[in-house]
Structure 1
Amino acid sequence: MSVNNILKGMGYKFIAEIGEGSFSQVKLATSQKHHCNVAIKIVDRVRAPKDFIQKFLPRELAILRRVNHEHIVQMHELIEVAGKRLCIVMEAAAKDLLQKIHEVQRIPEDQSKNLFSQMVSAINYLHQMDIVHRDLKCENILLTIEEQVKITDFGFARCVQDPSELSQTFCGSAAYTPPEVIMGRPYDPKKYDVWSLGVIIFVMVTGSMPYDDTNLRRLHRHQRKPLVYPDAAGVQEPCQVFIHTLLQYDPSTRPAIQQVAVHQWLQMGKS
C-alpha cells in the first residue's frame, strides 16, 4: 500500500506538495485527528545516505520530541511505513521568511525587530537546553498566517554536552555560514547560530544577501570586509550597529545569544 493511501486511511488528506529534497518531500495536508492543516515530511529511508539515517535523522527526531516553544515548529506524530519511509507530521505554516521578503522586497525595521525577537527567543531557549541548530536561514524560518515565527528543519541540529566542546561538521548553507566554518576550523556551534541570525536580519532589512557565496574562497574574503548596505534600504545606524555585532569575524568577540536578546536595538521601542 502506498504512503498516500496509508496516510489517507489515518485521516490525512493531501492539499499540495510544498517542498522536495533528494530523499524527502514535504506535503501540506488536512488532519481529522489534529483538526488543522499539517505539514508532513516524508523521508525515504532507502534513498537517504547512511550517515543521515544513522546520525542526523535520530538527532533531529530526539530534539523535536524534547522542544516545546511557541516559535519552534511542533511535531505532532511519527508514522513508520513498512520500514522504508518515515512520515514526520508537524505544524503547518503559511510561508517561509524568504517568500515573505520576495513579496515585499524588504521588511521595515519595526516589523523586522518583532520577527527577529521571536527568532532570538527560540534560539535562546535552544541554547539554554544546549541544543544548536546549525542551519538557520530564511527558508527555515516559517511564518504563520498571523506572521508568528516557527523555526523548522533540525536536520543539522545537535546537543552539546560540554559548553567548551567544539564542532567539526561542515553543515548548513554557505551564505549563512560563519568564517571559521568556511575555513574548516573546529567551531563553537552556538556562535555559528548567532552569525546565521546576523545574516538573516541583514536580509530582512535590506532585501539582499550580505555576502556573495558563489565562490567559497571569495566568500571568506568578503566576510573580512565591512558590510555594505544598499542605499535604497535606508537602514538606520542603530540597526547597522546591531548587525555588525552579530557578524563579528572573530567568534570570540561574537555575542552569546543571551547577550543578543538584551541588545539595545531589540529593546528600542518596547514599552
Structure 2
Amino acid sequence: MVLWRVGKYEVGRTIGEGTFGKVKFAQNTETGESVAMKVLDRSTIVRHWMADQIKREISTMKVVRHPHVVRLHEVLASRTKIYIILEYITGGELFDKITRNGKLNENDARRYFQQLIDGVDYCHTKGVYHRDLKPENLLLDSRGNLKISDFGLSAHPPQGVSLLHTTCGTPNYVAPEVLQHKGYDGSSADVWSCGVILYVLLAGRLPFDEVDLTALYSKIGKAEFSFPSWFSSGARSLIYRILDPNPDSRLKISDIREDNWFKEGYVRAKNPPTLQSEEDDMDDLTKLFDDPEDLQEKGEAEQGNAGPLVLNAFDLIVLSEGLNLSAIFHREQYYYLVIQGRQEGGKEGHHTRFVSRQPADVVLSTMEVVAQSMGFKTHIRNFKMRVEGPSAERGAHFCAILEIFQVAPSFLMVDVQKAAGDSADYLKFFRSFRGKVDELVWRPPPGKPRARAPRLPRR
C-alpha cells in the first residue's frame, strides 16, 4: 500500500526503525526499482546535535560503492525531513540467520567471511573505517550475498591523520586498543571485529561474553577465549592470529588473503570504477541540509507513528501453529501460554506469549528495563528485543527473542522464544521475567462473558 510520495518515489510500509527515524519500503516510479528510504526528522536531528554525524555517514556512503556494501542511491530533503535512498536488501540480517540456525557450517561461514573482508578492504582503500562491524550490521541480499550496512559510527579522517581516538562500537566486537582510550588504527580495529564475527559464525556464540563489563574488557584485553571442539585447525589458526591483542602483530587484510583456510574457494569481488559523482562533497551535503528543495510529499501527514507489525487473520493462524487462539485471549490459565515444540534439528524449543493493552513503546521499554535489571544484555530493533547472557551451563550462552505484534487496535501480543541455550535456562528466565512484567499483562474484567474464537470452516 502506498502511503505517500516523495519526488519520484512511492513510499510504502515501514520496514525498520532507527534512533532518528524510520526506514520505509519505496519504489522508483521511473525505473520500477525497489529501494529502502531512511526518513529522518530535521528537528530531531538538530535537537540531538546529530547533523554533522549524519552528513559524515552520507558522505562516507557516497564514497564507498562495492558489491558487498549497501549502496546509497541519493539523498533528498524537504522542509521537515531528510530522505536517504538506499539499496533494498531482502534477506535480513546475518544475525537473524545465526540466531535462527545456530552455528553455520564451515563453507558458509568462510564464504560470508570472504565477502566481509572484500567489503571492509574496499572501505579501507577509500579511507573509511566502519568501527561497528557485527552480524546485526551485515545484511543478506536475495542471493545470500553479504552487504555491509550502518556507517553511522564510521570514520573518514582527512589525509595525514593516522590514528583515531573515539571509543565506539559494540563492546563484544571492539578491539582491545579501542577500549584503552588511546589512539588506534582504524584498519586494525576493523580486522579484529571481523575475527570476532568469524568466530560467531562458526561457534554460534561470542568469544568474549560477560555480563560485567570490567570482566568483559579484561578478557578482550588478554584475548582470553577458547575454541569449540568442532573448529578445524585452519579456522583456529586464522582466528587466533586475527584476535591478537597487539595491533602491531595482528594480521592485516593482505595477510588474511594469503591464509590457506581463507583462500579455499575464494573468488575476489571486483571493485567498481569510481565515478565523479561518488566523490566526497561536503559542500553539497551542507547545502542539502540547510537549503532543502520543496519536494512533493503527498499523504505524509496520514502516515502516523510506526508501530509493531500488524497481524492479520492468516498471520495469527500461522503463528498459532494450529492452537486454538481463544486460549490466548479468553482462558485465565492462558494469560501466559507456554508452547513446547520442535525446532530444526530435533532440538526442543519454547515459545511463550501474552497479551497486553499497554502502548507498544511502554511494553518495550518496560521489558528492556526488567531484562537489564536481571543482569541480561538487550538489543532492540523495530519492536523486537534480543535478551542474552551466560547460561547456567559453564561456558554456554543463553539468548531469547521478544517481539511485539499488534493483533487488534488496542491489543498487543508479546511473543517470547528461546534462541540459544538450554531449555531449563529459558524456563528459569521466563518465570522470573513474568513476575516482573505482570502489570503489562491484560486480563478480562471479572464477570464479563468471554466470546468464543470463530471457527474456521471445514473443507
Q: Does TM, normalized by the shorter one, top 0.5? A: yes
Q: Between the two proteins, what is the percent identity of the paired residues? A: 29
1:91 to 87, 92, 106: 87
2:38 & 2:18 partners in 1: Cα distance? Answer: 10
- 1:251 partner SS: coil
2:142 & 2:44 partners in 1: Cα distance? Answer: 34
Q: CA RMSD in A?
A: 2.0
Structure with max Cα Rg: 2
Instruction: Report if the CA contact (8 A) 1:71-1:122 is conserved.
Output: yes
Alignment of 1:173-192 (within 5 A): 173-192=170-189
Corresponding position of 2:61: 64
Q: Does 1:215 align with 2:212?
A: yes
- Offset, 1:196: 0.7
2:150 to 133, 150, 153: 153
Which amino acid in structure 2 is aligned with residue 172 of structure 1? G
Q: 1:167 to 1:147 in 2, by over 3 A?
A: same
Which amino acid in structure 2 is aligned with residue 102 of structure 1? T
157-166 or 201-210, which moves further after superposition?
Answer: 157-166
- Offset, 1:270: 5.0
Corresponding position of 2:131: 134
Which amino acid in structure 1 is aligned with residue 258 of structure 2? V
Structure in which a larger fraction of residues adopt helix = 1
Instruction: Report if the CA contact (8 A) 1:182-1:216 is conserved.
Output: no
Corresponding position of 1:109: 106
Q: 1:192 to 1:110 in 2, by over 3 A?
A: same
Q: 1:11 to 1:129 in 2, by over 3 A?
A: closer
1:77 & 1:266 partners in 2: Cα distance? Answer: 35
Corresponding position of 1:263: 259
- Offset, 1:188: 0.9
1:162 & 1:13 partners in 2: Cα distance? Answer: 39
- Offset, 1:164: 6.2
Higher RCO by CA contacts (8 Å cutoff, separation 6 or greater): 1
Which amino acid in structure 2 is aligned with residue 206 of structure 1? A
Corresponding position of 2:44: 47
Corresponding position of 2:400: none
Which amino acid in structure 2 is aligned with residue 45 of structure 1? R
Instruction: Report if the CA contact (8 A) 2:173-2:196 is conserved.
Output: yes
Instruction: Report if the CA contact (8 A) 1:106-1:203 is conserved.
Output: yes
Q: Does 1:246 align with 2:242?
A: yes
Corresponding position of 2:352: none
Q: 1:256 to 1:30 in 2, by over 3 A?
A: same
- 1:219 partner SS: helix
Instruction: Provide structure 2 residue ranges, at least 5 long, that are not aligned to the other structure.
Output: 268-459
1:217 & 1:78 partners in 2: Cα distance? Answer: 41
Corresponding position of 2:72: 75
Corresponding position of 2:28: 31
Q: 1:6 to 1:214 in 2, by over 3 A?
A: farther
- 2:44 partner SS: coil
Instruction: Report if the CA contact (8 A) 1:41-1:89 is conserved.
Output: yes
Corresponding position of 1:10: 8
- Offset, 1:179: 1.1
1:235 & 1:31 partners in 2: Cα distance? Answer: 46
Which amino acid in structure 1 is aligned with residue 228 of structure 2? P
- 1:125 partner SS: helix
- 2:115 partner SS: helix
2:266 & 2:43 partners in 1: Cα distance? Answer: 51
Per the normalisation by structure 2, the TM-score is 0.54
2:88 & 2:161 partners in 1: Cα distance? Answer: 36
